[in-house]
Amino acid sequence: MKWLRTFTSRLIGFFRKQQIERDLDSEVQSHLDMLIAENIWRGMTPEAARHAAKREFGGVELTKEEYREQRGLPLLDGWLQDVRFAVRMLGKRPGLTFASVLTLAIGMGANTAIFTAVHSVLLHSLPFPKADRLAIVWSVLGTEGRAPASGPELETLRQRSRLFEDLGAIWAQSGALTGEGEPEQVRLGMVTANFLGILGTNPQLGRLFEKVEQGSGAPRVMIISDGLWHRRFGADRRWIGQTVRLNGQSVTIIGVMPPGFRIIFPEGSSVPPEMDAYVPFRSNLASSPADQSYLRVIGRLRDGVTIAQAQQEMDTLAGQIRAEYNTFADPPLTLQVVSLQGDVVRNIRPALLALFGGAGLVLLIACVNVANLLLARANERTLEMALRTALGAGRGRLIRQLLTESVLVSCCGAVAALSFGWFALRLVLAMQPKEMERFSAIQMNPPVFAFTFAVAIVAGVPFGLAPAFGTRKLDLTRSLKDSRQTGTKNGRRQGNLLVISEVALGFVLLIGAGLMLRTFVRLLQVNPGFDATHVLTFRVSVASAKYHTDDAAVQFFRKLKENLSQLPGVEAAGVISHLPFDDTLPNWYGFYWREGASKHEQNTAMADFRSSLPGYFKSMGVTFVSGRDFDDHDVAENLHLAVIDDTVAQEAWPRQEALGKLINIENGNFVRDTAQVIGVVKHLQYHTLTNQVRAQIYLLYPQAIRAHMAVTLKSSANAQMLLPLIRQQVAALDKDLPIYHVQPMTDYVESARRQTRFVTLLAGIMGGIALLLACTGIYAVTMYSVLQRMREIGVRTALGAAPRQLFALVLRQSMLPIALGLLAGLVLSLLLTPLLSSLLFGVRPTDIPTFGVGALILSTAGLIACLLPARRATRVDPMIALRYE
Amino acid sequence: MAPPRGEVLQGTLDLIVLKTIEALGPLHGYGIAQRIQQVSEDLLHLNQGTLYPALLRLEQRGWISSKWGSSENNRKAKYYALTRTGRKQLLAETESWERMTALMTRLLGGAEGA
């Protein structure tokens, strides 16, 4: 602890410098006075007494200096001195300083913005208490790797698992809030009573569900979101315990979740993050049919249990379930445990990491540029360095000075980078893909600031050291004698090295951006199987008691469709249970087989079961391969009919006509049924643009009743104009039914392209910045070398070199490092681009056109960057050049 | 011929200063210098100025404390006093010094004897 005391005292000394200085002065003076007084008393003259006193005391200034060194923090003192000096030096060349700071701000700003996203999405844990304990359990059935579970499955897992504290499930639904005010369709999370407790977030008001509130006959209760509470209930606490009407039933509000609470489930799990309300399941899960799978299962692992251990336990339990339930024997059920955090980011992680890597490359290029600027300046300062060495500054002292300057520059860069990064982050957030929207808080916070400054310091050291090593072979006498600045071979080699690395790094970025661009273009070219232009969509739900009979629901949608087709400008109207690229409602899918298939052929292929009314295919511009759409007669007669896509036709009746054949399907109530194929359509990309997740089978609505339906309207009329008319038509049929999710179909298609668009745009921006930085770098290096070689060029001109020859000489010498850089970049790209393959579509990581165009762009840009310096070389006046200095 | 004047041994100045302050009570720098020269009977050559860094060092370690006061002749001077830890330190250092000198004496005496 002694050192601490000494340090504290020194620290105080450091800050109270002036007062201590005064103290020391008067203390020394009083000592001297006493000595003089004594000497006079001994009989000396005052003059002699003073001299004697000084002799006895020893060097006054020496003592003070020794005292000072011990008093404060000499290291800090020296460093502050360095900083003051550095500020003066940088202030002397404001243009150069500004260029360095700006370059670094761009490089680090890009990093700051991307790191903010990486930090919030990949590094930061999800906003649930002990979020690392949360795991999702997916059912694996045949080709279906991420299927939901059925009631008996969940109950079996809950009862027998020892490694999970608890397991629960959610099923996203939709419900109509009626009664006071406008009817409103709300997103409803049907949950097990323990679900919210497993996530670990407590309501801000009221309480969570209790066990008895789940199951048939339980009291109807509801927990609402903070958003709904504010929007519909005026944030009034008295609503707790009150009843509201949900889907025509009285339900008691028992709690309000805190603001910002969201269900963070992986993309594609059909669980949207924003729920308006939660209600417990009203069916008995344990005794519900084993083949009705709709539960998205989440569990909380006990402390210390790993995912691998939980997986082992689930393997055992899956074996037991297979043995106990026929349904899960063929294809055999297996269970997969994944951490919630890992599963949620699995799609976005490669994209973010690739962008992070790209931002790192941009920063490297920026650093090389700044190193180049500082290096050039270091050469100018050779004389200064030599002088300081001559005056006794050690090598370490000089390096410390250079480092201080470079770190100072990079810290200024960091401050600028934070503001630059703030804007860049706005851009990132404006374009963020759906996967990132699940994370509510993507913002700059202390870890981000720390990251930026750490980058600044780490970046500042190497480019500060580069000039330090550039001045390594400092020949004192030569430098002092020969103060003229001549282009040294050493300096040119360094310049070339910088150009090579800039071009190589820039090439990698350009290739990355190019590959993403090619992917994006491919995505734009993908034909999703339908024509989204001029298609307006919205949703209507008939979940209330009024539509308890199937007939009521059928009549409602039939009339609605009919009335809507009469609206001006409407060419076709359709009703469908699920829109392409819509992940807000559960997806209905299951096994299908041709009638008469043997037992072991039955559970092999799965398809989405869509429920529709006549007109959907026409409104979406879907191509019929053969056969026809449903018609009103089919609806009226309630026939068991199906339209299948070409994938199903191919799978069930290879090389045969599918029309007229019977197919075994699952209707709207999870009941198996047989339908006759009346039409075959082209496959629609329903899930992603890039791969076919499942085929589709379309059933006639009366045969497959669903509460939540979407309406598609193909119309040349403006949506703004159409909307009031639509509302009018819906209200005319039922004034209590809200319409919601009003969106042009193109928005859904757009959302499917969002992640690629996001990565492409950011990669493009980075590629552009890299190109710009590389060009500035090449220009600076070439121009500098021309200026350094003025005398040599002057001599050449004097000896008769034609301007054209000089022009060619400069170009030749500058294009060589660019060519070498391209070569290095090529090798580097071939090593790095395979890492991008998961982000690419329709283009190989080693796409030759991309590489060719990248090389062309970079070499052209490099050439342009060299033109100006080369022209400068041809304008050297030998008389001036030789007399230069 | 005057006896040879010794330089202050490295590391001993602290001990000398501590001992001096203990012996005379709170004292200013001039007083300490006078006292050392007096006791050593001018055998010790001391640049009086070197006292001050030593005093600062001791104060930073918390062994002495300082206060401005006025001297016998009404001159302003800084007075140094021993603190509790300083007293303990003096004891410990005296002991270790004595052990050291005893050892040196024995070693040198033994060499003479041989």
Residue A41 confidence class, pLDDT cut points 50, 70, 90: confident
CA distances from A762 to A104, A252, A396, A610, A765 (A): 18, 48, 42, 37, 5
Asked if B57's CB is within 8 angstroms of A27's CB, the reply is no
- The rounded distance, in Å, linking the Cα atoms of A793 and A489 is 15
A310/A68: higher pLDDT: A310
B1: in domain = no
Task: Inform me whether the C-beta atom of residue A558 falls under 8 Å from chain B C-beta atoms.
Answer: no
A364/A183: higher pLDDT: A364
**Nearest CA-CA partner of A503 in A369, A682, A399, A303:** A369
- The rounded distance, in Å, linking the Cα atoms of A814 and A502 is 13
State how far Cα B80 lies from the chain centre.
13
Per-residue pLDDT of A506-560, as tens digits, reads 999 999 999 989 988 988 888 899 999 999 999 998 877 777 778 888 999 999 9
Instruction: Sort out which chain B residues have CB atoms less than 8 A from A5's CB and list them.
Output: 60-62
Mean pLDDT across A54-71: 76
Look up the pTM and report it.
0.73
Give first-to-last CA distance, chain A, whole Å: 60
Least confident of A53-62, A115-124, A204-213: A53-62
Rounded to the nearest 10 degrees, the angle between the axes of helix A348-380 and helix A382-390 is: 70
Asked if A58's CB is within 8 angstroms of B50's CB, the reply is yes
Pairing of the two strands A205-206 and A589-594? unpaired
Nearest to B29 among A27, A58, A62 (CB): A27
- The rounded distance, in Å, linking the Cα atoms of A47 and A509 is 80
- Is the pLDDT assigned to residue A198 strictly greater than 90? yes
State how far Cα A648 lies from the chain centre.
37
Q: Is the peptide bond before A331 cis (omega within 30 degrees of 0)?
A: yes
Asked if A26's CB is within 8 angstroms of B76's CB, the reply is yes
Token digits of residue A779: 């220009």
- The rounded distance, in Å, linking the Cα atoms of A501 and A820 is 9
pLDDT at A745: 94
Residue A255 confidence class, pLDDT cut points 50, 70, 90: very high
- The rounded distance, in Å, linking the Cα atoms of A425 and A431 is 10
Q: What is the CATH number of the domain that holds B54?
A: 1.10.10.10
B44: in domain = yes
CA distances from A497 to A122, A488, A858 (A): 36, 14, 17
Nearest to B56 among A2, A56, A71 (CB): A71
pLDDT at A487: 47
- The rounded distance, in Å, linking the Cα atoms of A221 and A243 is 9
Residue A209 confidence class, pLDDT cut points 50, 70, 90: very high
Task: Return the bridge partners of A256, or none.
Answer: A205, A224
- Is the pLDDT assigned to residue A842 strictly greater than 70? yes
If you measure CA to CA, which chain A residue comes closest to B34? A35
A-to-B residue pairs, Cβ atoms closer than 8 angstroms: 68
Asked if B62's CB is within 8 angstroms of A27's CB, the reply is no
B23: in domain = yes
Asked if B48's CB is within 8 angstroms of A67's CB, the reply is no
Asked if B30's CB is within 8 angstroms of A30's CB, the reply is yes
Interface of B with A in 52-71 (CB under 8 A): 52-53, 56-57, 59-62, 71
CA distances from A476 to A390, A472, A726 (A): 7, 11, 88
Q: Cα angle at A524 between A522 and A527, to 5 degrees? A: 95
pLDDT at A446: 87
B68: in domain = yes
B47: in domain = yes
B61: in domain = yes
Nearest to B30 among A23, A26, A31 (CB): A31
What mean pLDDT is reported for chain B? 80
- Is the pLDDT assigned to residue A154 strictly greater than 50? yes
- Is the pLDDT assigned to residue B114 strictly greater than 50? no
- Is the pLDDT assigned to residue A485 strictly greater than 50? no
Mean pLDDT across A752-758: 85
- The rounded distance, in Å, linking the Cα atoms of A609 and A588 is 6
State how far Cα A780 lies from the chain centre.
34
Cβ–Cβ < 8 Å for A795, A878: yes
What mean pLDDT is reported for chain A? 85
Task: Inform me whether the C-beta atom of residue B82 falls under 8 Å from chain A C-beta atoms.
Answer: no
pLDDT at A337: 94
Nearest to A67 among B28, B53, B71 (CB): B53
Per-residue pLDDT of A659-680, as tens digits, reads 999 999 887 666 788 999 999 9
Per-residue pLDDT of A399-450, as tens digits, reads 788 888 888 888 888 899 898 888 888 888 887 777 676 665 778 888 888 8
B16: in domain = yes
Nearest to B49 among A2, A59, A71 (CB): A59
Interface of A with B in 157-186 (CB under 8 A): none
Q: How many domains does chain B have?
A: 1
B41: in domain = yes
Domain that holds residue B83: 6-113
- Is the pLDDT assigned to residue A861 strictly greater than 70? yes
Per-residue pLDDT of A695-728, as tens digits, reads 999 999 998 888 889 999 999 888 888 999 999 9
State the ipTM, two decimals. Answer: 0.81
- Is the pLDDT assigned to residue A639 strictly greater than 50? yes
Interface of B with A in 16-55 (CB under 8 A): 28-30, 33, 47-50, 52-53
CB neighbour class for A882 (10 Å; exposed up to 12, middle 13-18, buried from 19): middle
CA distances from A785 to A189, A312, A323, A848 (A): 69, 67, 80, 35
Instruction: Sort out which chain B residues have CB atoms less than 8 A from A6's CB and list them.
Output: 60-61
